[in-house]
Amino acid sequence: MANAKQLDRETTTRALSERPKQWMPPELLPEPDKQPGYGYKWIRVSMLNQADPRNISTRFREGYEPVGIEEQPKFTLLVDPESRFKDNIEIGGLLLCKRPIEFDSQQMKYYAEQTQANADAVDNNLMRQSDSRMPIFKESRSSTSFGKGQ
């Protein structure tokens, strides 16, 4: 009788009722644990084993700062041991950086204003070359009216 109880217990264990795990391709860059108020970005620090100081300095001037390994301890084994950025997270020539999320909205606003100014300049230049006898843009309005049937 004790053997029957053991057999029942073995067939109803949780391990046997779990779905088999499936293989998934590895992530190219792991997702960091988010801190409130910060946005994260992987920034190129080298390409083809050549340092890219121009890109690094540009991003740092945009407000990005490197994330320390102590902030994201799950990356400890993934970090490039020959990195120039000691105590930071560099994987495959990309450095994990963060900046306050307020900077994102300010940057979007700046570029939206730049885009609008450029579009206005193109429109003004085009309209200056327009001739009233053959306008480039002819704004026309159409209307539909309904009358009584016969």
pTM: 0.62
What's the pLDDT score for residue 114? Answer: 94
What's the pLDDT score for residue 11? Answer: 56
Q: Whole-number mean pLDDT of the chain?
A: 82
What's the pLDDT score for residue 10? Answer: 57
Residues 33-82: tens digit of each pLDDT:
999 999 999 999 998 888 999 999 999 999 999 999 999 988 888 888 88
Separation CA 88–CA 67 (nearest Å): 6
SS (H, E, C) the chain: CHHHHHHHHHHCCHHHHCCCCCCCCCCCCCCCCCCCCEEEEEEECEECCEECHHHHHHHHHCCCEECECCCCHHHCCCCCCCCCCCCECEECCEEEEEEECHHHHHHHHHHHHHHHHHHHHHHHHHHHCCECCECCCCCCCCCCCCCCCC
Higher local confidence (pLDDT), 59 or 17: 59
- Above 90 in pLDDT, residue 7? no
Residue partners of 34: CB distance under 8 A and separation at least 6: 40
Residues 84-124: tens digit of each pLDDT:
888 899 988 899 999 999 999 999 999 999 999 999 888 88
What's the pLDDT score for residue 60? Answer: 94
Cα separation values, 91 from 36, 64, 95, 115, 128, Å: 23, 17, 7, 34, 53
Higher local confidence (pLDDT), 34 or 136: 34
Q: Residue 36 CB: number of other CB atoms within 10 A?
A: 5
Nearest to 74 by CA among 121, 30, 40: 30
